[in-house]
Chain A
């Protein structure tokens, strides 16, 4: 059942630390279908699959590039994965690429979710349906945590240095998950401190 890695994927795995991605999308159609494919695998969120497809299978981004693009898409307002698709498409094929990736990400899943809304009205009283929803939710949580753990390797090559980068990641987690501080303030406060330190450490 496990998928064989493509040539691009294997090379990507070897060159994680490098800043040059081993492959690139061929066309807007390629972008559309890749994002469609990753969206349709993304139950409970697309981020985990996006990392696997774009970095590990296709080799279109290095882990480092992925996490940087993700950082930008999180700082900008709006849905993260949508922002990521727009940025990714724009990077290779400009505006048309941005909308090709966005369309691939949204069109088919939108049709499915509307169909499910109808179905849910009919079947939500059945215990197995409610149970299945819970089971899928637990898996979704695990997928997000695993993606975070994988991307932690990108902290090693941070200009902040591994210990300081790790400290900022931990503080962010504590502020959001435990203290429940508003996200805007966490990013404005911790974020500007981290950026300032990174700026001072670069020549």
Chain B
């Protein structure tokens, strides 16, 4: 019985290490998904001259297909904004965007910097000329590229570290308690 308990505790520590490493991977996946969707939205707006609800609906629906789990949250974020714009016509887009960004940031493994970048993007959507609109998108995309670059390094460095720490702590616990 004692050995079973020790094994469970060691396995928990190892799993914690892997979970921490996976958290970085999930964040990377989410940021990459945001990056792709905003890039597509920029194309829809600048090439097809779509309005924001049109572009968000199209991209949201396209990306929601065949997605499950947390990666489905992001297309649904876009679709929720579109739905609220239809139901609350007097409510300005930046306000709805802010509320929905805060909502997903509580549910997804996003860092504060990721949330702030999304909030800044929302503040400048819709009310400017096409040139400013393009610059707003480009600024967000550049910012996200830099974050992903840093995160990639972190994943290589910290990911391995978290896994090793988890395994070492698990083994140490086994040795000490056994």
Q: Do A and B bind each other?
A: no
Q: Which residues of A contact B (CB under 8 A)?
A: none
